[in-house]
Chain A
Amino acid sequence: MSCQQDTPRNAAAPRAGASRARRVLTPLLTVAGLLVVWELVVDLGIIPNFLLPTPVQVVQALVSDFSLIVSHAATTLVETAIGLLIGVALGFAIAVLMDRFEGFYLALQPLVTISQTIPTIAIAPLLVLWFGYGLAPKVILIVITTFFPITVSLISGFRSVDPDVIDLMRTMNASRWQIFRYAKLPAAADQFFSGLRISATYAIVGAVIAEWLGGNSGLGVYMTRVRKSFSYDRMFAVIIVISALSLGLMKLVDLLQRVCMPWKRAEGNKR
């Protein structure tokens, strides 16, 4: 069986290798090209420098303010971590209840959906008004924005189980909990991690938005301050940091998925 599979895979290998180099190089060159255009556009005075800093100035700002940005980023990351953990736990609990009890599903389904139509920016000032300038309003905002992707992905994941698997397990006298543990939970894992990847990026953005409206530290607070002093180079620097943090968090989710779902690799190899 394995020798049959090896032949076509080896034959395709050199082409796959070449395309991998292209896959890395093409976007890198695109980004580099855009940066050069950006630098030139400002240097040649097409866009005045007080409106748009050059990439070199952004890097300089990032370097000079680095330690300050790191301390602000630490605050944002703590809020993100707490909010995301609570959001995931809440999302998980709601999904399990909605899957287990039809009544819960009917009662919560519209509420869960409506909660997502409330604009984050609109609710953030209210949260600050109610809970002050501390950690609480930030965490609450993150929880509100992150639980939804988790709940939605888990519910559809739980429902993706082949009903025949549940029948089979019933013939083995499996309890509801066993069916959940052996069949439903692993079946939902794939979609759960897709949801988690979305939630992780929402969490950082949510934290920054909440910080805009008040607080003593955090990337959002730093952003507000540099905007008020018209230091747009620092604005761009902090945007880069936020992007990098989001990317890092997504990578972390990928890693977690690979550890939690070892069978995925076997399924990938087959194709």
Chain B
Amino acid sequence: MGAGVIAAERGAASGADAGAGDVPALEARSLTLSWDGQTTVVDRISLTVASGEVVCLVGRSGCGKTTILHALSGLTRPLSGQVLLHGEDITGTPGHVSYMLQKDLLLPSRRIIDNVCLPMLLTGVPRAEARAKAEPLFERFGLAGTEEKWPAELSGGMRQRAAFMRTYLMGADVTLLDEPFSALDAITRVEVRRWFCDMARELGLSALVITHDVDEAVSMASRVYVLAGRPSEGEPSHVAGEVRVDHDAAGEGDFALTPEFLSAKREVLELLG
């Protein structure tokens, strides 16, 4: 399905790294979205995700964040605007980007290994081949020993890791994550988030993460888009601004305790209004 082409493009993009004129891995151009085809929920938003970059989209509950991800993943068609993957128009066609929904959505009737293999099985890869490809990754995703377990036997944090592994095994070039840690308790959430950030760096993931947690957004992303508006009260959401987070300037130690973190957080909160 053109996976080779995408891989080549990814190579080219990271080769020419950080050049300002680069084609972004994912780009939304002036998307206008609605829930029912009439009322506008999101008004002409534009955003980009560069190759190997983790970007957060932060906004209040009910401001249309999930609606945006549904459109970016191709599940729904925007009223107007375009979604581009490496410059190629993928508006309204699913299957091009990996999408991790809010819940882990593991199939209760399949063992963990078959759950993570699902994207491969659906594209017609034989079961043995898919399993062979997934098996070596279990260790890396902190899931060693869970291969033959049923989802009901795993804790929430482990299930989330399995869901992330399944998302990774979709093999798409860009990953969308919808509040990936919101179902976890506070302590597990910090743990899994930290683990996720390490994995994202290690895998060179290009990801767009949506969250309503400002701390989470600032600690994860190199850029934060702030979404403002109240669609349920007739005021469509729009991008109120973009905040850059300089992780490198903060140096060693807990990023959440640095002045860089606080100033970025203040900026985001101001934009949220």
Interface of A toward B, CB cutoff 8 Å: 1, 162, 164-165, 167-174, 178, 182-183, 186-187, 189, 261-263, 266-267, 269-270
Contact = CB atoms under 8 A, between A and B. Distances in A.
Interface stretch (B28-36, B149-157, B224-232): B149-157
B66 to A, nearest CB: 10
A267 B107 contact: no
Contacts of B102: 164
B70 interface: yes
Chain B: interface size category: 20 to 34
Interface stretch (B115-123, B184-192, B210-218, B250-258): B115-123
Interface in B92-118: 94-95, 97-99, 101-103, 105, 107-110, 118
A82 B98 CA distance: 48
Given A164-B103, A263-B150, A270-B153, A172 B119 contact: yes
* 10 interchain residue pairs of minimum CB distance: A186-B109, A173-B95, A266-B150, A267-B152, A171-B99, A266-B152, A263-B150, A172-B119, A174-B122, A172-B122
A77 to B, nearest CB: 32
A269 B150 CA distance: 11
A168 B101 contact: yes
**For chain B, what secondary structure do more than half of its interface residues adopt (helix, strand, loop), or is it mixed?**
loop
B81 interface: no
A56 B105 CA distance: 58
Contacts of A267: 108, 150, 152
Q: Which of A173, A178, A183: most chain B CB closer than 10 A?
A: A173
A165 B110 CA distance: 13
**For chain A, what secondary structure do more than half of its interface residues adopt (helix, strand, loop), or is it mixed?**
helix
Q: Which of B75, B103, B122: most chain A CB closer than 10 A?
A: B122
A172 B176 CA distance: 13
Given A182-B122, A267-B150, 16 more contacts: A1-B155, A162-B103, A164-B102, A164-B105, A165-B107, A167-B75, A170-B75, A171-B75, A171-B97, A172-B122, A261-B109, A263-B109, A263-B152, A266-B152, A266-B153, A269-B153
A171 B153 CA distance: 26
A180 B171 CA distance: 23
A165 B103 CA distance: 9
Given A171-B99, A172-B119, A270 B105 contact: no
A173 B121 CA distance: 11
A266 B149 contact: yes
A172 B101 contact: no
B150 A168 contact: no
Contacts of A266: 149-150, 152-153
Contacts of B122: 169, 172-174, 178, 182
Interface in B162-197: 170
A251 B264 CA distance: 64
Contact of B170 (A164, A172, A269): A172
Contacts of B155: 1
A165 B151 CA distance: 14
Contacts of A170: 75, 94
B102 to A, nearest CB: 8
A189 B107 CA distance: 13
Contacts of A169: 118, 122
